[in-house]
Structure 1
Amino acid sequence: MGTKKLYRSRTNKMLCGVCGGIGEYFNVDPTLIRLLFVIFGCTGSGVLAYIIAAIVIPQE
């Protein structure tokens, strides 16, 4: 059994592919992940988390 790795998606992306990659990793619709980032983005923590994830998570 292969191990799963977290990557930014090249095919399912809006900005940097972070939400698409997280959705593929957890087998969840990326739209739900995007909604969570928007909800947390209202407080400012979602924007910071997205920027950090875009820098840290490697491209697929």
Structure 2
Amino acid sequence: MNLPDSDKKIYRDLDNGMISGVCAGVANYFSVEAVWVRGAAIFGLIFLSVPVLLAYVAAVVLLPRRVL
């Protein structure tokens, strides 16, 4: 896994996102494919529903949208 560069910013990627772009934005930040982040989110929702759901909603509210 590649560590993010210090000048990278995390954002919601609405163009490549399925629901609100959180997973796509996180995937871009960590330079991985979005399918892996989405899989981890689904896995987390199954086993740790409340914390993962709260974190996702917080990310939707707090993360800025990607501006091209």
Fold match by TM threshold 0.5: yes
Match of 2:61 in 1: 55
Gaps of 5+ in 1: none
Question: Which structure's CA Rg is the greater one?
Answer: 2
Letter of the 1:46 counterpart? V
Q: Give 1:46 deviation, angstroms.
A: 1.8
Distance 1:35 1:47 in 2: 14
Distance 2:63 2:36 in 1: 19
**Cα RMSD after superposing both structures:** 1.3
8 Å CA contact 1:38, 1:46 repeated in 2: no
Gaps of 5+ in 2: 1-5
What TM-score results when the alignment is normalised by the length of structure 1?
A: 0.88
Divergent runs of 4+, >3 A: none
State the percentage of identical aligned residues.
Answer: 32
Q: Give 1:37 deviation, angstroms.
A: 0.7
Count of aligned positions = 59
What TM-score results when the alignment is normalised by the length of structure 2?
A: 0.79
